[in-house]
């Protein structure tokens, strides 16, 4: 067996999402051959890649079928999270992907989804930050049990920067930790916009694979301000299955798709898709209608990222400062992990196939 044999064999293994082979994509390194033993490393586009097992099997089969049927093949994985940023990186310089979690309608579980998406990415091995930019109802302080904590400041190149808190393996910052809870809700118009701009640029996130931003509900000036301040890699839209929520989700889809904005939609996730009682985990009750989010994704040709059940433990965990991803309910965890895996895959696809997002230059009044 030679290195060339191995590379030739691996050029038959496709990266399942990117539609090209591992060798063309430069994803194979460190090939070591010793008799019938061969080891190499595959560099993934995201540590949260759920396709590892499939790729491992495909690599082993390729070597055994095309090179040496007796080969003992060891596949190591490492990752270099893809990024599509080509801006001067003046804002959030070390952040590879900026993912905004949005919803048309309030109360559909956007914050819950954003928090658990961040935690699931981190569980997959990524370095992750969660920014709660919901100035009208910041919920990260309660969801992570950090209410009342005050972040530290640090001097970075002569500028006072806010240091994020760390919890459950992710960095987090909420506008709710910087202002009095009662004051945040009265911000409107330019005051809200300048607060959000400052909040985004004054936090020192360091190096991150993903920064997940929990946006305010709806589609308003705050969203435009954010997209004018940072190059958002893509948005994840959260909806619930009932028609009133779907109608509002359509407004969100329309907003991000507008020619002047044109921020890619990574996909749509349906929260509270069905109710599952803890004592009867196989029973599903479609309280708000069945598959509404899935149909919407199909209608707009968007990636559908999954259905998250309505379970009591998600609400309880959120209120107790222990989000579902770090709780002990396997059903909600599995649904959230599958969702995050699909989101990570679609982010990698987006980075491979689309032009980089520019900070939008649309005028607001
Ligand atoms: N899948 C779920 N199962 C059970 N409870 C849930 C689920 N998703 C969210 N919740 C609960 O619903 C409530 C609203 O969720 P959340 O705060 O995440 O919504 P939101 O869309 O961010 O709200 P807002 O519009 O205020 O920003 C919370 O109490 C949360 O714990």
Structural domain boundaries enclosing 317: 95-353
> Does residue 249 contact residue 239 with C-beta atoms inside 8 Å?
yes
Q: Which of 107, 271, 311 to mutate to test the pocket of ligand 1 (most atoms within 8 A of CB)?
A: 107
> Does residue 111 contact residue 134 with C-beta atoms inside 8 Å?
yes
How far is Cα 100 from Cα 223, in angstroms, rounded to an integer?
Answer: 9
- Residue 122: the pLDDT is 96
Least confident of 21-30, 217-226, 305-314: 217-226
Joined together, the tokens standing for residue 67 give 């090179």
Indicate if 155 and 66 belong to the same structural domain: no
What are the tens digits of pLDDT across the range 93-130? 899 999 999 998 888 999 999 999 999 999 999 999 99
Nearest alpha-carbon partner for 233 in 89, 91, 87, 99: 99
Domain for residue 337, yes or no? Answer: yes
User: Which residue's CA lies nearest to atom 3 of ligand 1?
Assistant: 310
Atom of ligand 1 nearest to the CA of 113: 18
For the Cβ of 106 lying below 6 angstroms from any atom of ligand 1, the answer is: yes
- Residue 228: the pLDDT is 86
Domain for residue 365, yes or no? Answer: no
How far is Cα 97 from Cα 99, in angstroms, rounded to an integer?
Answer: 6
Q: How far is the CA of 361 from the centre of ligand 1 (A)?
A: 32
- Residue 365: the pLDDT is 42
The pLDDT of residue 362 is above 60: no
Please say which residue of 50, 79, 108 terminates a domain: 79
> Does residue 336 contact residue 116 with C-beta atoms inside 8 Å?
yes
CA dihedral (178, 179, 181, 185) positive or negative:
negative
> Does residue 338 contact residue 118 with C-beta atoms inside 8 Å?
no
Question: Taking the model in full, what pTM does it have?
Answer: 0.92
Joined together, the tokens standing for residue 338 give 């599958």
For the Cβ of 315 lying below 6 angstroms from any atom of ligand 1, the answer is: yes
Chain centroid offset of residue 131 CA? 12
User: Which residue's CA lies nearest to atom 9 of ligand 1?
Assistant: 109
Pairing label, strands 170-174, 165-167:
antiparallel
> Does residue 215 contact residue 110 with C-beta atoms inside 8 Å?
yes
- Residue 196: the pLDDT is 86
- Residue 287: the pLDDT is 92
The pLDDT of residue 355 is above 80: no
Indicate if 145 and 202 belong to the same structural domain: yes
Indicate if 265 and 119 belong to the same structural domain: yes
CATH number, domain containing residue 151: 3.40.50.300
Indicate if 280 and 332 belong to the same structural domain: yes
The pLDDT of residue 8 is above 90: yes
What are the tens digits of pLDDT across the range 242-295? 988 888 899 989 888 877 778 899 999 999 999 988 888 889 999 999 999 999
- Residue 364: the pLDDT is 47
Q: How far is the CA of 236 from the centre of ligand 1 (A)?
A: 16
Indicate if 185 and 268 belong to the same structural domain: yes
- Residue 360: the pLDDT is 66
CATH number, domain containing residue 15: 3.30.300.130
Atom of ligand 1 nearest to the CA of 238: 21
Atom of ligand 1 nearest to the CA of 315: 31
Q: How many CB atoms lie within 10 A of CB 299?
A: 11
For the Cβ of 143 lying below 6 angstroms from any atom of ligand 1, the answer is: no
Least confident of 33-37, 119-123, 193-197, 286-290: 193-197
State mean pLDDT over 57-76: 96
Indicate if 72 and 114 belong to the same structural domain: no
How far is Cα 299 from Cα 49, in angstroms, rounded to an integer?
Answer: 27
> Does residue 309 contact residue 348 with C-beta atoms inside 8 Å?
no
Joined together, the tokens standing for residue 68 give 């040496």
Q: Which of 105, 110, 112 to mutate to test the pocket of ligand 1 (most atoms within 8 A of CB)?
A: 112
- Reported ipTM: 0.98
Atom of ligand 1 nearest to the CA of 105: 25
Joined together, the tokens standing for residue 204 give 């020192």
- Residue 185: the pLDDT is 66
In the chain, pLDDT over 90 holds for what percent of residues?
65
The pLDDT of residue 180 is above 80: no
Q: To the nearest whole number, what is the mean pLDDT of the chain?
A: 90
The pLDDT of residue 236 is above 90: yes
- CA of 231: how far to CAs of 30, 225, 227, 357, in Å? 34, 11, 6, 6
Total structural domains within the chain? 2
Task: Name the H helices within the chain.
Answer: 3-10, 52-66, 110-123, 140-143, 181-184, 189-201, 221-229, 243-257, 292-300, 312-320, 330-353
User: Which residue's CA lies nearest to atom 29 of ligand 1?
Assistant: 315
Give binding residues for ATP as ranges: 104-111
Indicate if 117 and 224 belong to the same structural domain: yes
Indicate if 144 and 244 belong to the same structural domain: yes
Indicate if 300 and 272 belong to the same structural domain: yes
Q: Which of 100, 105, 109 to mutate to test the pocket of ligand 1 (most atoms within 8 A of CB)?
A: 109
């Amino acid at each position: 067996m030679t290195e060339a044999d191995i590379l030739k064999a691996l050029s038959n293994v496709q990266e399942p999402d990117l539609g090209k082979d591992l060798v063309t994509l430069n994803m194979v390194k460190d090939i070591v051959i010793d008799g019938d033993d061969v080891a190499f490393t595959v560099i993934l586009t995201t540590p949260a890649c759920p396709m590892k097992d499939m790729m491992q099997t495909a690599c082993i089969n390729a070597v055994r079928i095309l090179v040496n049927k007796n080969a003992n093949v060891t596949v190591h994985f490492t990752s270099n999270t893809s990024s599509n940023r080509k801006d001067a990186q003046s804002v959030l310089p070390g952040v590879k992907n900026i993912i905004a979690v949005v919803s048309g309608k309030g109360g559909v579980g956007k914050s819950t989804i954003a928090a658990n998406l961040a935690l699931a990415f981190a569980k997959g091995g990524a370095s992750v930050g969660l920014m709660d930019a919901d100035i009208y109802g910041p919920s990260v302080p309660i969801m992570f049990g950090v209410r009342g904590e005050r972040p530290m400041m640090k001097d970075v190149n002569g500028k006072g920067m806010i240091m994020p808190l760390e919890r459950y393996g992710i960095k987090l910052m909420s506008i709710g930790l910087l202002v009095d809870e009662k004051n945040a809700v009265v911000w409107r118009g330019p005051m809200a916009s300048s607060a959000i701009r400052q909040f985004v640029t004054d936090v020192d996130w360091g190096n991150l694979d993903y920064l997940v931003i929990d946006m305010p509900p709806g589609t308003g000036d705050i969203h435009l301000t954010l997209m004018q301040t940072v190059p958002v890699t893509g948005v994840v839209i959260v909806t619930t299955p009932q028609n009133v929520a779907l109608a509002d989700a359509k407004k969100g889809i329309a907003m991000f798709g507008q020619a002047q904005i044109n921020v890619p939609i990574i996909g749509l996730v349906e929260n509270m898709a069905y109710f599952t009682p803890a004592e009867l985990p196989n029973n599903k009750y479609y309280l708000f209608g069945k598959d509404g989010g899935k149909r919407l994704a199909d209608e707009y040709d968007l990636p559908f990222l999954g259905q998250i059940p309505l379970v009591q433990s998600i609400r309880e965990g959120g209120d107790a400062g222990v989000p579902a991803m770090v709780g002990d309910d396997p059903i909600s965890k599995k649904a959230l992990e599958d969702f995050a895996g699909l989101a990570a895959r679609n982010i990698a696809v987006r980075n491979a196939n689309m032009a980089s997002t520019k900070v939008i230059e649309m005028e607001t009044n």
